[in-house]
């Protein structure tokens, strides 16, 4: 990159030449030029990354909403199942086993979330 203004030239080496070996042309009194191709490319890449993150966040919020709806549906099904079990007269032992299984399922679910987040972090950290 080089910047020149009113006869003063920046971006040269000690020999008065550009880093590529080509001599630096002297600038006129009104000549001002800035090469910013790399900055434009970097800006475009950052914009693309920003769009991708926005898409990812939108997708994640949709998934979270879906999981919330599924949780509400599952709670309703659980209540109906307990009502049916009570109507059938099953013992309290069976009902406790069902509740214990529900707690174990919750532990497995949150454990899976933690493992998934760790894997995603490692992929982002070391793959990009």
How far, in Å, CA of 100 to CA of 84, rounded?
Answer: 18
Task: Tell me if 50 sits within 8 A of 41, measured CB to CB.
Answer: no
For 28-64, what is each residue's pLDDT tens digit? 555 565 667 888 888 999 999 999 999 988 898 889 8
- pLDDT value of residue 71: 84
Does pLDDT of 110 surpass 90?
yes
- pLDDT value of residue 7: 46
How far, in Å, CA of 111 to CA of 63, rounded?
Answer: 18
Task: Tell me if 38 sits within 8 A of 1, measured CB to CB.
Answer: yes
Does pLDDT of 128 surpass 80?
no
Q: Please give the residue that has the higher pLDDT: either 3 or 57.
A: 57
């Amino acid at each position: 990159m080089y910047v020149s203004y009113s006869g003063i030239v920046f971006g040269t080496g000690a020999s008065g030449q550009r880093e590529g070996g080509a001599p630096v042309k002297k600038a006129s009194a009104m000549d001002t030029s800035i090469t910013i191709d790399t900055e434009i490319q970097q800006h475009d890449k950052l914009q693309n990354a920003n769009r991708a993150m926005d898409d990812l966040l939108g997708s994640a919020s949709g998934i979270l909403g879906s999981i919330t709806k599924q949780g509400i549906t599952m709670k309703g099904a659980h209540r109906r199942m307990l009502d049916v079990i009570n109507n059938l007269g099953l013992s309290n032992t069976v009902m406790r086993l069902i509740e214990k299984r529900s707690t174990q399922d919750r532990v497995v679910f949150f454990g899976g979330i933690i493992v998934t987040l760790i894997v995603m972090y490692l992929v982002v950290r070391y793959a990009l």
